[in-house]
Amino acid sequence: MPAAMGTETPGAVLELPKEVTVRQDVYVRRASGLVRTVSARTALFANLVGMGIIVNFFWITEASAFYPNANLITTVGIGVLINVAVGYVYWMLASAMPRSGGDYIFVGRIFHPSLGLGVNLVFSVIFVTWAGLFAYFTAFYAIPTMLAAYTLAGGGGGALSMATTLFTSTNDVFVVAVLILLAVVLISFLPTKWIFRVSVGVFVLCAVIFVVMMGILLATPQATFASDFNAHPVYGTSYSSLLPVPAVPITTTGTFYGVVYTMLSFIGYANSSYYGGEIRGSPTRTQGLAIFGAPLIFAALIGGLYAASYYSFGRQFLIGVSDSYFTTPGAAWPGPLYLAAEIVRVPILAAFLSFGLVLTFFGFSLIYFILPTRNLFAWSFDRVFPSFLTRVSRNGVPWVAVSVLGVAAGLALWIQTYYPTYLDYATLSYSNFGFWFAIGIVCLAAAVFPFLKKSLFNQAPKIVRARIGPVPVLTIVGVAALGASWFVSYAASTASYLGITSAMYSLWDLLLLPIVFLVGIVVYWASYAIQKARGVPIDLIAKELPPD
């Protein structure tokens, strides 16, 4: 494929001494084999699917429990400032280096491939784990909640009985989750354009549910919901009895640290950087819309979501009902999508609203499975991993990488189901710690990019090279994003200080991702030694961008 205007040409040497020439056999072949079929709009929708435009109708209950002193609406305002800065960093780097692999390419070409692999391995382990984890969540939370909502709205007890059976049977949850994950893997074997058509379909359906849900909430003030709840008490008790006594106040500290939970929701807007080699048209335009536009759109949506939920259910009730669920867990998660069944009293509509949770978790599983397959492809294309992993079908699908990571996601699902001590919701929560620490390294790379890689920076599109006086804008934003990212990482590591019961977590959850980062560095140097013995100079990959 032709190189994008204003970007590094495929295989072009960067800042090499004149007597040094990059050998073609550094890379597996002269072209990646990936096909550029993803448009700007599709990339935007896929990023939003990875963020989950209605998932906060699920998370809000848990956020209310873990951060009772937070005003969640305010956390969105703080969070969007951080994420727009990080989004700008990824947008600029994806414009300057429009190849698949995302931060593996960015950090590897700016600093060193070993650091690039370490950072990218952290994200890839998170993503492939999420692919299995959200398949599990679909079976354990989403489907039972949908069935229970049908019953709550007056649809008869059969659906609730099915929900309870599934919720309480580990083997049944595993079987259903395996089928969901199998569907994800099979979709991933399709041509890229069809994979993303599925993601667009998920987005459209979620958008419809979001609009319907917002309309229902805005038409139902708190007093009306309280009356509906008292008429059909979910927990055999009244609305007022679930309100905390005394009322839980909003505090500045509680809100500030509550940003940590909101930041977990924002994850996903940089997803399109990982399949940059499959983006068509101008990388700057496409990634600008997808990476920079997604957090702005998402902030507006979840800000409205939080406001509507407070208006209809009441902040104190959401805190109280979450405490009640943790005391006596049931088949239905008491989030707004489920509680809306008290308002609509139409079984099919109530089930449809909660079906949004099924769609969201399925979309998460799909998107976060696709991303590490492209990362694994990028590592192998650089010969850091075995080259057979770069094999693609005639439609440009890296089918070997999909197969290998399908097994890895299945393993993550199995561990989550039967050995949750090692991989569970705590691991998901603590992924914020490792995720934002790794993001900080990417931001640091962006800040020094204009100085460490002058040749590549000077060949980047004009917008990447923008300056305020003598200082590149990318450096200014990179430094600011670095500080914000590492603050979030720190805050996410202090669970007990944030009001989360420390007993829920273990040292394993905290150290897992730092260990993964170090493993990535070790793997690179082991591969370097093996390839050097074979006469393959993979140390030269830091000197050039991979072929398109």
CB contact at 8 A, 47 and 301? no
Cα→Cα distances 500→157, 163, 493, 497, 506, Å: 35, 28, 11, 7, 12
- Give yes or no for a cis peptide into 246 (omega within 30° of 0): yes
- Closest Cα to residue 527, out of 412, 386, 433? 386
- CA pair distance 94, 286, nearest whole angstrom: 10
Q: Angle between the 293-313 and 222-231 helix axes, to the nearest 10 degrees?
A: 60
Percent composition of the chain: helix, strand, coil (DSSP 3-state, to 5)? 70, 0, 25
CA 442 from chain center: how many Å? Answer: 16
CB contact at 8 A, 93 and 273? yes
DSSP 71-123: -HHHHHHHHHHHHHHHHHHHHHHHHHS-SBTTHHHHHHHHT-HHHHHHHHHHH
Q: What letter does residue 151 receive in the DSSP assignment?
A: I
The answer to whether residue 325 sits within a structural domain is: yes
Name the residue range of residue 45's domain: 24-543
- CA pair distance 367, 47, nearest whole angstrom: 8
What is the total count of domains within the chain?
1
Cα→Cα distances 8→91, 250, 381, 529, Å: 16, 51, 18, 28
CB contact at 8 A, 68 and 499? yes
The per-residue pLDDT for 491 is 76
The answer to whether residue 9 sits within a structural domain is: no
Q: Which amino acid is at 57?
A: F
The answer to whether residue 70 sits within a structural domain is: yes
Helix (H, G, I), strand (E, B) or coil at 472: strand
CA within 13 Å, CB half, 140: 18
The answer to whether residue 11 sits within a structural domain is: no
- CA pair distance 423, 509, nearest whole angstrom: 8
Copy the structure tokens of residue 241.
Answer: 């009895």
Cα→Cα distances 196→104, 128, 190, 275, 389, Å: 23, 18, 10, 12, 22
Q: Residue 493 sits in a domain of what CATH number?
A: 1.20.1740.10
Cβ-in-10-Å burial (0-12, 13-18, 19+) of 323 comes to middle
The per-residue pLDDT for 547 is 60
The answer to whether residue 6 sits within a structural domain is: no
Digit-by-digit pLDDT tens for the chain (548 residues) are: 333 433 333 344 444 333 334 444 565 545 455 667 888 899 999 999 999 999 999 889 888 888 889 999 999 999 999 999 999 999 999 999 988 888 999 999 999 999 999 999 999 999 999 999 999 999 999 999 999 999 999 998 899 899 999 989 999 999 999 999 999 999 999 988 899 999 999 999 999 999 999 999 999 999 999 999 998 777 668 899 999 999 999 999 888 878 877 888 898 999 999 888 888 888 899 999 999 999 999 999 999 999 999 999 999 999 998 887 777 777 788 899 999 999 999 999 999 999 999 999 999 999 999 999 999 988 988 888 888 888 888 888 889 999 999 999 999 999 989 988 666 655 666 677 888 999 999 999 999 999 999 999 999 999 999 999 999 999 999 999 999 999 888 877 765 434 444 444 566 667 788 899 999 999 999 999 998 888 888 877 777 766 66
The answer to whether residue 16 sits within a structural domain is: no
- CA pair distance 33, 311, nearest whole angstrom: 52
The answer to whether residue 17 sits within a structural domain is: no
Q: What letter does residue 403 receive in the DSSP assignment?
A: H
Cα→Cα distances 323→35, 244, 249, 305, Å: 49, 9, 16, 21
- CA pair distance 444, 195, nearest whole angstrom: 33
- CA pair distance 474, 528, nearest whole angstrom: 31
- CA pair distance 106, 122, nearest whole angstrom: 15
